[in-house]
Chain A
């Protein structure tokens, strides 16, 4: 049983709740192996996927998870630029709520947007990524993938390399991995490190060699091409030569290292194709596991709702 009826961030989860989600996801993977990949668990429940930011992977992953649980789903993509001011977020959601959905899965460019909804709306809110803040289901599916390979999380050395400053994946993953006892090394150019990075509970470094040395897991984060515009990096070419994950660098890690990436990948910018497509890469497994983990989250939160009724 989860304590909250929402999933807003890893910050709100206790280690035993994380364990429960991962164990439940284990059971869910079995459904994907069946010829008929559908169970009636969420029959009659309505889930709205509300995406204010473009997303292929996360949105389809949630949709597949919802359909496999027999929920009625509705996906809405709303293009929202910072200049156009239309209906407010709250009005949009309240209009949707008039149609009595049970859960709202939301992706939004503003950090904290799901907290606004959780405070002022009726539905259970699942955060599918809010600005630079959190992306809890990504961290959960990453943990699930690591656990599948390593059979544990505690005591592992995990290197996270890339644009740490703008990354919600970093923020969720660091909290989750810390709660579960892993040691996280965080590597980025000085310009792309969040303020007081060490206080996040990581070992900060600007050397990718140091970060990946002896690592059990290497997690690469995407570098957006337009980052040169804020003077964060001189060029993607220089970024790749200084911080990119090449086969030679990957070889510094443990022999059984797994290499992860939340996508979308920029080949030749943060990661060499030989690594991305190589034997240590679990990038596509992450995508497959995403469905099982999101099924687990939907299932557990729906149980919460049932309890509350």
Chain B
């Protein structure tokens, strides 16, 4: 089976290619990239001028909710949402029910992903059994089953000794440890960023330092152990500063990610347009303008390695409650590309190449995944982007089983035209993007 992508701009930072080329895909791999390739029996996908052929986007922070919380999302609906958002691969968090601390669960997720046949799914295993922070999970067994990283996401690894051992042990396996950096005592029962807006609204605060103090601790442990450490969903300006300093010291095994909502929104969203909207409740919380600006700076100057969505589906009933009782989190897979293009690329903060690095090259590098490259011979995971197409975000139309997004009704410039996994077109949005 052959597929010819005709026209379009190939942006492949891994091979330093950026220009107008055709791409021939054969047997699930990139067969040839060149000017005016002939179809020669291949199915032709004619791209519009200005469309971008990028290595498949990879979201390394996704909650697929299966097993155990299938009312929020399943592997099937989550990967449908992923490919609609342009992601050819997602790494899924272990805070399922039960927690993914066992190869049996990893295997179950991989089986469901194969059955769904959409995006590639890379399970992340729990650092500790039950993510309780008491005893290491069997990390080598989890690696053998297919886990690509370890984390107790949803919870921080509170115990510094456990974090040290995890970094040492996972480092031995060549696998990164991802921490949801948060000091539990400083977070307390906070529900929003500790700033003037939360103070005015009478919402209990979570200070930025609750995050950065843990980022600093983990950087120190990563430096000591040599184990790869990745900061999940960074939100505080102090954390950016800490990671920047670590990188300046040459700690290449310290990496970090930022979610789109943290470089787009601030805590002002708690008041407008809807006061106490539970769809702006997430952890870490939306912080103030100075923090949002620090995320933008970090994205532009290279401190931030990865944009990851922290796609966190919750059922509408769970969100339709008092603010402090609502669960943390929003869906993000299908709003990421429009937000990245509208707010970063078209806003002149980064170029297309850097966007592709943040969404594809670096996620693959940080989690040591196949992909992130369109070199001839590599697996044909490809995302076709229509950077100038206007999209209207409609929560009700999301493929995700859950619709908890604060971006409902937003008009943005930048769309996904098609998603190709292993040479197969798994999502196509031509009609809407024409």
Contact = CB atoms under 8 A, between A and B. Distances in A.
Interface of A: 82, 88-90, 108, 110-113, 115-116, 119-120, 130-134, 168, 171, 194-197, 199-200, 230
22 contacts: A88-B320, A88-B321, A90-B321, A110-B322, A110-B324, A111-B202, A111-B203, A111-B276, A111-B323, A111-B324, A112-B322, A115-B275, A116-B320, A130-B202, A131-B202, A132-B203, A132-B204, A133-B201, A195-B194, A195-B205, A197-B199, A200-B200
Interface string B174-199: 00000000000000100000111011
Contacts of B205: 195
Contacts of A111: 201-203, 276, 323-324
Contact of A171 (B194, B202, B275): B202
Contact of A116 (B199, B204, B322): B322
Nearest to B185: A231
A112 B274 contact: no
Identify the interface centre among B196, B201, B320: most chain A CB within 10 Å of its CB.
Answer: B201
Contact of B325 (A110, A130, A134, A230): A110
B40 interface: no
B317 interface: yes
A88 B196 CA distance: 29
A110 B201 CA distance: 11
Nearest to A133: B202
Interface in B316-369: 317, 320-325
Contacts of A200: 199-200
B195 A195 contact: yes
Interface residues of B, number: 22
Given A88-B317, A195-B194, A108 B199 contact: no
Contacts of A90: 320-321
A142 B47 CA distance: 68
From A88, A119, A133, A195, name the one whose CB has the most chain B CB atoms within 10 angstroms: A195
B274 A119 contact: yes
Contacts of B325: 82, 110
Contact of A168 (B202, B274, B317, B324): B202
A195 B323 contact: no
A166 to B, nearest CB: 8
Nearest to A164: B199
A131 B202 CA distance: 7
Contacts of A199: 196
A89 to B, nearest CB: 6
Contact of B324 (A115, A131, A194, A197): A131
B279 to A, nearest CB: 13
Contacts of B188: 230
A297 to B, nearest CB: 20
Interface of B: 188, 194-196, 198-205, 274-276, 317, 320-325
A251 B322 CA distance: 44
Contacts of B324: 110-111, 131
A196 B322 contact: no
B199 A196 contact: yes
Contacts of A230: 188
B196 A115 contact: no
A133 B200 CA distance: 7
Contacts of B202: 111-112, 130-134, 168, 171
A187 to B, nearest CB: 16
Top 7 A-B pairs, shortest CB-CB distance: A112-B276, A133-B202, A132-B202, A110-B322, A111-B202, A194-B199, A196-B196
A111 to B, nearest CB: 4
Contacts of A171: 200, 202
Contacts of A116: 276, 320-323
A296 B195 CA distance: 35
A171 B200 CA distance: 7
Nearest to B317: A88
A200 to B, nearest CB: 7
B291 to A, nearest CB: 14
Contacts of A112: 201-203, 275-276, 322-323
Nearest to A82: B325
Nearest to A200: B200
Given A195-B199, A196-B199, 11 more contacts: A88-B321, A111-B202, A111-B276, A112-B202, A112-B276, A115-B275, A116-B322, A133-B203, A199-B196, A200-B199, A200-B200
Nearest to B189: A82
A119 B204 CA distance: 22
Most central of B196, B274, B317 by chain A CB within 10 Å: B196
A88 B321 CA distance: 7
Contacts of A195: 194-196, 198-199, 205
A130 B325 CA distance: 14
A89 B201 contact: no
A214 B393 CA distance: 57
Nearest to B198: A195
B196 A108 contact: no
Contacts of B200: 171, 194, 200
A130 B323 CA distance: 11
A119 B321 CA distance: 12
A197 B195 CA distance: 10
Contacts of A134: 202
Nearest to B271: A11
Contacts of B195: 195-196
Most buried by B among A115, A134, A168, A230: A115
A113 B188 CA distance: 21
Contacts of B320: 88, 90, 116, 120
A158 B204 CA distance: 26
Contacts of B196: 195-196, 199
A110 B317 contact: no
Nearest to B194: A195
B238 to A, nearest CB: 16
Given A88-B317, A195-B194, A113 B201 contact: no
Point out which of A89, A120, A168 has the most chain B C-beta atoms below 10 A from its C-beta.
A89
B322 A89 contact: yes
A200 B325 CA distance: 26
A80 B1 CA distance: 62
Contacts of A82: 325
A230 B317 CA distance: 32
Contacts of A119: 274
B102 to A, nearest CB: 28
Contacts of A133: 201-203
Contact of B276 (A115, A194, A196, A197): A115
B48 to A, nearest CB: 42
A248 to B, nearest CB: 32
